[in-house]
Structure 1
Amino acid sequence: MNNYVSTLFNLEGRTAVVTGAGGHLCGEMARSFARAGCQVAVLDLRLEKAKAVEDEIRAEGFTEVISLAIDVAKKEDFETALEQILAAFGKVDILVNGAGINGSTPFFDITLDEWYAILNSQITGTFLGCQVFGEYMVKQGKGSIINISSASAGPPLSKAFTYSVAKAGILNLTQNLGREWGTKGVRVNAIRPGFLPTEWNRKNFITPEREAAILGHTPMARFGDPSELTGCILWLASDAASFVTGAEMAVDGGYSCMTI
């Protein structure tokens, strides 16, 4: 049984690329791919954050890892990153589009600069990642792309206006590409994390009243931990999910199944 399971979910020798990997959730995803036997490219706008995750991976004894700076709103940055990753590892099998920022500005106070900054980091970055790495994967004839949706993709959460618009777009793009590349060997899926709060979230979004509302709407009555996304991420990346594309997987403690 152990051999059966390990063969079914085997990722050893594959190359995984994670954008936003210097952050709370995607840093854990990058570490998880390394632990699963992957070569890992850690990409982030802040190179020092990416290098910190690379150092953590190396400290665990995994040496096939590189860190690169990328502005996900720039197509040329994705093209350069792809070239560097191919030079280092020879191929790309898995892409997680995880970069993105949020904002809690009241609707009437949102500036165009803030609107575009959030949209660029979220939906534009996901679009460009899918376009550049997806083209490579389609030519290769195989690959798994995992985008990051949200509980705010619909119906939207309060206080996260631009973010919610972006996440709805990411879900739609995921479904579009799942359909478009269904016969190309490239699967495109999304995960829908529940509440796994960062320090920024706690400062800007989660008041005591909001925390009570969130947990009262979550059947498990607790926040999640980034490590609890790992099983879904590794499954979607593996051949065990070979008939799964255009799907959104909720990892949210039951938040999305709750009404009253």
Structure 2
Amino acid sequence: MNATFHDLNDAAVFITGGGNGIGAALTDGFMAQGAKVAFVGRSDASEFVQKMQDKHGSAPLFIQCDITDTQALQNAMDSAVAAHGALRVLVNNAANDMRYDALDINEATWDAQQAINLKAYFFACQKAASLMTPKGAIINYSSITYMMGLAGMVPYVTANAGITGMTRALAREWGPRGLRVNAIAPGWVFTQKQETQWATPESKAAFLQKQCLQDFIKPEDMVGGTLFLASSASAMMTGQTIAIDAGVVGTG
């Protein structure tokens, strides 16, 4: 990461799903700016925490937590503030992009998918608004899937459309308090999970043809845009959704 966002030095940052995939790249990116990062995840992240300690000379605060447990999520955010001070940045990143035939989705599956992909986002935002410093920034990770209307993942696509609407509404509601709320819509980012569960040479080649830029997107490619939205460099931006997708969709 070449850019330096000086106002993020010593800033308290909270990331959901910050120990793997895109989230791990974000934790690394914020720590490189000198931020104090806390993150939650369902799986043990002690190995990643040690990696960050070795790289940056300080460790992120990891709190093991299922974000669908609203009380546990909000308690984790309280713990982060107790450790790092008033919250400056929330990044809602954790998600589950399971594939389903729409005719096979039952009520329990629908509710479970909305719990992780939309409900948890709102209650993290709600808690953040009560913990944030003036001019705090919330960044919600959406996806270009809802812009494309992708088949085979209706619960996830629906939740991401909801994230965008929620982002706009919260930006309007909390703007008078000085809080900014924006969203990032990644394209197909090739995390280890994507490579293991969904990607094939054929599907990757086909998707690459949809992009203007003919390179596969890596988790690290999400860092710069997130830091920009978190920093004072984007001080007058709110209610926006930025696609970082190598040019698959058009916005505006």
Q: In which range does the TM-score fall when normalised by the shorter chain?
A: over 0.9
Identify which of 88, 95, 102 aligns with 2:90.
Answer: 95
Specify the alignment match of 1:81 in structure 2: 76
Give the superposition deviation at 1:78: 2.5
Q: Percent identity, aligned pairs only? A: 29
Distance 1:111 1:204, change over 3 A: farther
Give the superposition deviation at 1:153: 2.4
Specify the alignment match of 2:236 in structure 1: 243
Specify the alignment match of 1:220 in structure 2: 213
User: Are 1:58 and 2:49 counterparts?
Assistant: no
What's the TM-score, normalizing by structure 2?
Answer: 0.92
Distance 1:203 1:105, change over 3 A: farther
User: Are 1:176 and 2:176 counterparts?
Assistant: no
- Matches of 1:9 and 1:82, distance apart in 2: 24
* Uncovered stretches (5+) of structure 1, i.e. residues with no partner: none
Q: Please show how residues 13-162 of structure 1 align to structure 2 within 5 Å.
A: 13-46=10-43, 48-49=44-45, 51-137=46-132, 140-162=133-155
- Matches of 1:70 and 1:199, distance apart in 2: 21
SS at match of 1:142: strand
CA offsets, 1:87-110, max 9 Å, x none? 211221001011111211211112
Give the superposition deviation at 1:197: 2.1
What's the TM-score, normalizing by structure 1?
Answer: 0.89
Give the conservation status (yes or no) of the 8 Å contact 2:13–2:88.
yes
Distance 1:203 1:34, change over 3 A: closer
The CA RMSD measured in Å over matched residues stands at 2.0
SS at match of 2:148: coil
- Matches of 1:65 and 1:131, distance apart in 2: 23
Distance 1:185 1:64, change over 3 A: farther
Identify which of 154, 158, 166 aligns with 2:159.
Answer: 166
- Matches of 1:182 and 1:32, distance apart in 2: 26
Paired residue total? 250
Give the superposition deviation at 1:204: 4.0
- Matches of 1:219 and 1:200, distance apart in 2: 24
Give the conservation status (yes or no) of the 8 Å contact 1:9–1:240.
no
